[in-house]
Structure 1
Amino acid sequence: MMQVKRTVQIDVGTRGRRRRSEREQAAVPSGRIPRVSRLMALAIKFDGLITTGIITDRSELARLAHVTQPRMTQIMNLLHLAPDIQEQLLFLPRVTNGRDPITEKMLRPVAAEVSWFEQRKKWTAMKITSQTAHRR
């Protein structure tokens, strides 16, 4: 009987950071993703975890995320926004310096509005206000 030896190669990478080529560096956008965009994405993810039954309720979710229950409610209230506003939040431009022009706290009165039509009016007004204030 003949034995066959097999060789397996595994690429484990390098231990340290390697330098990126100029082309790779140019592909990385500058600035950071706005906090409210990350919170909107988290709210969507958390809602999916609850819907699928992986997490039983918001209390468990708050405990796992190491935040208070009221804070978890504030984050999850972003789901009350009209779908088009949620989409705009997810794709806000990156912040290159200074503070975020739109915060979760600014969105609370918009999310509290039941009518999507009224939400859109408040959202538009808030965007205009934040853009003019951010330029100063």
Structure 2
Amino acid sequence: MTAAAAPAVTALTVRVPFHVVRPSRRIELRPGRAPAPAPDANVPRVARLMALAHHYQRLLDGGEVVDYADLARISGVTRARVSQIMDLSLLAPDIQEEILSLTGFRGREPMTEHDLRPIAATLDWRAQWEAWTVLKVDSLRWTNPNRSPI
């Protein structure tokens, strides 16, 4: 009798996607792919508030909320704050577009929502544009005195 031949050993490769997480001092492996990186933190607050005003308007237009009081309850802010945010939508479309495209500021932001309130309160878009240009030039000069304002 001859001894039976040993079965051939085959390699088995298993691929399991995982990512490393450090919730505290220890390192954890979690299943699945790593989440997408957080959006750029350098988007100015005024641009985020402008986007929020557009979102609020979509909620109102779609009938998902009835009024500013509903928006305030959902957002956890006062009705007055919702009004201040929504007033940004009174700015001329060109100004809104420029605000939404602001990026890349380090440190203190060059302009605030409070700076835009008097501009939004102006009904004439041409007058808004003139005030916006002055604010923009002053803000850029303030953030970087060596930078060309426009």
- Tell me the TM-score normalised to structure 1 length: 0.78
Query: Which residue, 36, 45, 49 being the options, matches 1:39?
Result: 49
* Higher share of residues assigned strand: 2
Per-residue CA shift, 1:100-120, capped at 9, x if unaligned?
101100000000000000000
Larger RCO, structure (CA 8 Å, separation 6 or more): 1
Whether 1:113 aligns to 2:113 is no
Query: Which residue, 118, 129, 132 being the options, matches 2:138?
Result: 129
Whether 1:88 aligns to 2:98 is yes
* Higher share of residues assigned helix: 1
Aligned partner of residue 14 in structure 1, secondary structure: strand
Distance 1:30 1:80 in 2: 26
Aligned partner of residue 94 in structure 1, secondary structure: coil
Per-residue CA shift, 1:41-75, capped at 9, x if unaligned?
00001100000101111111011100011111000
Percent identical across equivalent pairs? 42
**Higher radius of gyration, 1 or 2:** 2
Unaligned runs of 5+ in 2: 1-15, 23-27, 29-37, 146-150
**Matched AA of 2:124:** S
Unaligned runs of 5+ in 1: 1-10, 19-27
Whether 1:52 aligns to 2:70 is no
